[in-house]
Amino acid sequence: MFVDKSYIFMLFTLIVGAVFFLLVPKTQYKRYLLYGIVLGGFVHGFIASASSYMNLLKYTNMGPFSVMGVIPAWTPIAWSFSFAVFFYLMPRRRAFLIPYVLAFTGLDYIVGLVLEAYGLFMYIGSYRYFALLTFLVWYSVAAWIFYRDPQANVLQPVAAKALPEEKRDEEK
């Protein structure tokens, strides 16, 4: 049975979207998805387009979902969902934030390597190793912007609930 490889991007987007809809409460969809679209989808479009034109990476087997022959139409959507989940699960404490950003950086780098193994994506030259730095800077800046935004205090991520010892400290 032969399945066109270009549909893997759509399948991946559906999986990441399902994770988003399962984890994030319905009342928070708009807020987190807005951050995800701006800091995930739009930034991915810029990074992927610029990297493609600089001959650092190349998407292959895009099929009918190609956007000007540069990126698949599904990847910005997947990145939007991915960043929305990233923001929703982001810890409040800085001690946990650094390993959290490193974990998402590593996860997305591994996803890139898996896509490359499937023949859907190709790092060109030494960018295979510098892509990790790109992901690290991208997630770090996105987390910094998210915490700097005054509206971020309105959002209620899963880790926003005070721990028992924090509640006791606040009562004193």
d(CA 127, CA 42): 21
Q: Where are the beta strands (DSSP E) in 7-134?
A: 57-59, 66-67, 71-72, 121-123
2 lies in some domain:
no
Instruction: Evaluate whether residue 137 is within a structural domain.
Output: yes
The amino acid at 137: V
Residue 1 covered by a domain: no
pLDDT in tens, 62-90: 667 667 777 787 888 999 999 999 999 88
Q: Are 75 and 112 in contact (CB under 8 A)?
A: no
Query: 74-78, 130-134, 159-163: lowest mean pLDDT where?
Result: 159-163
Domain count, the chain: 1
pLDDT over 70 at 1, yes or no: no
Question: In angstroms, rounded to a whole number, what is the distance separating the alpha carbons of residues 12 and 20?
Answer: 12
Contact at 8 Å (CB) between 120 and 77? no
* Partners of residue 66 on adjacent β-strands: 72
Would you say how long the chain is, in residues?
172
- When mean pLDDT is compared over 34-38, 73-77, 119-123, the highest value belongs to 34-38
Containing structural domain, residue 138:
7-171
